[in-house]
Amino acid sequence: MEIDNKKLVIGLTLVFILGVLFAIVNGIYTSSTNEQLPLIVYGISFLSILIGAFIVVMFQWKINRIQVEKVLKIVPREERIIVKILLDNNNSIEQNKMVVLSGISKVQVSRTVQKLVEREVVEKKNMGNTNLILLRL
């Protein structure tokens, strides 16, 4: 999964703002009680940030998968089959295995893969007797 640069910058900015706010709260707490914030507060805050980031990444992955499946409904049958096979096999598979899994003829798989390469949906790498097909979405 690829993280969008804008989202990354926004996330880092929000974490920076959270740190500044934490420093302000610590200053106010220190000036009113003459003590530092307890260490457990820092630990809970850090753990909350990690859990939040994990949840965001998990939902983003699921949203991306749902969007790809919606788009697949409007593409031709052979292209849909090939992209689904790639999604089910961690975005890469050898072309000869794709022929077996798809039930489509070797020639039709080759032609369909070439169409997807031209549209930059997949990437094809030569591996000798076969090609490695990589999903670029």
Lowest mean pLDDT among 7-11, 77-81, 131-135: 7-11
Q: Are residues 59 and 85 in the same domain?
A: no
Which DSSP helix (H) or strand (E) runs through 126?
strand 122-126
Q: Are residues 12 and 66 in the same domain?
A: yes
* Average pLDDT of the segment spanning 82-90: 90
Supply the angle between the helices 77-88 and 39-72 in degrees, to the nearest 10. 150
Structure tokens at 42: 């820092």
Handedness of CA 96, 102, 105, 109 (dihedral sign): negative
Answer with the one of 72, 92, 125 that is the final residue of a domain.
72
Answer with the one of 50, 72, 94 that is the final residue of a domain.
72
* 104 within 8 A of 78, measured Cβ to Cβ: yes
Q: Structural domain tally of the chain? A: 2
Q: Are residues 103 and 58 in the same domain?
A: no
The pTM score is 0.57
- Tell me the sheet residues that pair with 81: none
Q: Are residues 26 and 62 in the same domain?
A: yes
* Average pLDDT of the segment spanning 44-55: 83
* Average pLDDT of the segment spanning 91-116: 94
Query: Half-sphere exposure of residue 21, counting CA atoms within 13 Å on the CB side?
Result: 7
Q: SS3 of 125, please?
A: strand
Q: Are residues 61 and 24 in the same domain?
A: yes
* Average pLDDT of the segment spanning 29-57: 83
* Average pLDDT of the segment spanning 128-137: 89
Q: Are residues 48 and 101 in the same domain?
A: no
CATH number where 114 lies = 1.10.10.10
Q: Are residues 49 and 16 in the same domain?
A: yes
Q: Which of 16, 118, 7, 21 is nearest to 56 (CA)?
A: 7
Domain assignment of residue 16, given as a range? 5-72
Q: Are residues 128 and 108 in the same domain?
A: yes
Q: Are residues 32 and 49 in the same domain?
A: yes
Answer with the one of 19, 54, 72 that is the final residue of a domain.
72
Q: Are residues 44 and 62 in the same domain?
A: yes
